[in-house]
Amino acid sequence: MSTSARTSQQDSALARYFRFAERGTDLRTEILGGITTFFVMAYIIFLNPTILTLNRAAEPPVVPPFAGLVTATCLAAAIVTIAMGLFTNYPFAAASGLGLNAVVAFDLIATRQMPWQAAMGVIFLEGVLITLLVLTGFREAVFNAIPLTLKRAISVGIGLFILFIGLVNAGIVQRNPVEGSTPLTLGAFNRLSVGMAVLGLLLTLWLMSRRVKAALLLGILLTTLIAVVIRLIVPNAPVSSVPSAADLRSLALLPIDFSTIGAGFNFQVFDLLGIVPALLVIFSLMLSDFFDTMGTIVGVGEEAGFVDEEGRLPGANRVLLVDSLAAALGGLFGVSSVTTYIESAAGVAEGARTGLASVVTGLLFLLALVLAPLAGLVPPEATAPALIIVGFLMFAAVREIDVTDLFDGFPALVTLIMMPLTYSITNGIGAGFIVYVFLRLVSGRAREVHPLLWIVSLAFVLYFIAPLL
The per-residue pLDDT for range 126-168, each reduced to its tens digit, is 999 999 989 998 888 888 888 888 888 887 888 898 889 889 8
Does 267 or 358 have the greater pLDDT score?
Answer: 358
164 compared with 232, residue with greater pLDDT: 164
Instruction: Look at 54 and 228; give whichever has higher pLDDT.
Output: 228
Q: What is the pTM of this model?
A: 0.75
Instruction: Give pLDDT tens digits for 370-410.
Output: 775 555 567 778 888 888 888 888 788 788 888 899 999 99
Backbone conformation region of residue 60, classed left if phi is above 0, alpha if psi is from -120 to 50, else beta:
beta
- Residues 263-302 pLDDT 10s: 767 888 888 878 877 887 787 788 778 878 888 888 889 8
Which residue, 217, 173, 281, is CA-closest to 36? 217
β-strand pairing of 173-175 with 184-186:
antiparallel
pLDDT of residue 434: 96
Report the alpha-carbon distance of residue 102 to residue 94 in Å, rounded: 17
With cut-offs at 50, 70 and 90, classify the pLDDT of residue 85: very high
- The mean pLDDT of 339-343, rounded to a whole number, is 90
The pLDDT, as a whole number, for residue 167 is 92
Q: Which residue has the higher pLDDT, 381 or 210?
A: 210
What is the distance between the alpha carbons of residues 320 and 468, in angstroms, rounded to a whole number? 30
Q: Which of 32-41, 76-85, 122-131, 248-257 has the lowest mean pLDDT?
A: 248-257
CB neighbour class for 146 (10 Å; exposed up to 12, middle 13-18, buried from 19): buried
pLDDT mean over 162-183? 85
Q: CA-to-CA distance for 459 and 457, rounded, in angstroms?
A: 5
- Give the number of other CB atoms < 10 A from CB of residue 55: 17
**Residue type present at position 393:** L
Q: Which of 460, 422, 423 is nearest to 438 (CA)?
A: 460
User: Which residue ranges make up each domain of the chain?
Assistant: 3-144+187-387
pLDDT band at 255 (very low <50, low <70, confident <90, very high): low
pLDDT of 237 above 70: no
Q: What is the pLDDT of residue 60?
A: 45
Q: 13-22, 81-90, 396-405, 410-419: which range is least confident on average?
A: 396-405
State yes or no: pLDDT of 62 exceeds 60.
no
pLDDT average, residue stretch 320-348: 93
pLDDT tens-digit map of 420-466: 898 887 788 889 999 999 999 999 999 999 999 999 899 889 888 87
φ, ψ for residue 260, nearest 5 deg? -85, -15
pLDDT for res 395: 87
In the chain, % of residues over pLDDT 70: 88
